[in-house]
Every structure is written in C-alpha cells, then in structure tokens.
Amino acid sequence: MLTLIIILIILACFVLGFFVLIQNSKGGGLASNFAGSNQIMGVRKTADFLEKATWILAGSIMLLCLIVAFLTKQEFQRDRPQQNRGNVEKPIADEEE
C-alpha cells in the first residue's frame, strides 16, 4: 500500500512538472500554439484546463504525502519495540509518617 502511494506521488510529480513547463505565465506555452487556428477547446479553455490540472495535481501530491506520513508513523509505532515504558518514573506519593 505504501509503495503504491509513493509511486503515485512520483508519477504526479512528473505530470505536474510537465504541466508547469508547457504553461507560460504571459499566455504563451502550449496555449499560444493554438492561437491562430480554431480548435474545439480553444486557447482559453486549454489554459484553464492546464491551470486546473496543475492545482488538482498539487493538491493530490500534498494529500498523498500526508497519507504517507500518517501510514509511516503508524508503522513505526507498531514495529518499534516498547522501550522505556517500564522505566518511567512515577511521581512520589505523599509518604505516611
């Protein structure tokens, strides 16, 4: 399960990097290649799709990283030997005199 989530994070990172590289902050990038022709989606819709996909991928990477952190914490606590639990000093109770 953990390996599958890590693989999904890596794939999402590559796709996110691809989407960021084909965008241009000034309206260029992939969207500018279709400026002269009439496409079904159009230039603005392509830019909107790329922007939405970027945000979705960034959010999914963040969510998957949180899931991995939670799973590894549980796994570490489960596999960790119970050390120092019996050695905890108890507070001194009132002594009877």
Domain boundaries in the chain? 2-24+42-78
pLDDT for res 46: 75
Q: What does the DSSP assignment read for 27-89?
A: S-BHHHHTSSS--SS-HHHHHHHHHHHHHHHHHHHHHHHHHHHHHHHHHHHHHS---SSTTPP
pTM attached to this predicted model:
0.61
pLDDT for res 22: 87
pLDDT for res 23: 82
pLDDT tens-place values along the chain, 97 residues long = 889 999 999 999 999 999 988 886 665 555 555 555 545 555 567 778 888 999 999 999 999 999 999 999 887 777 776 655 555 566 666 665 5
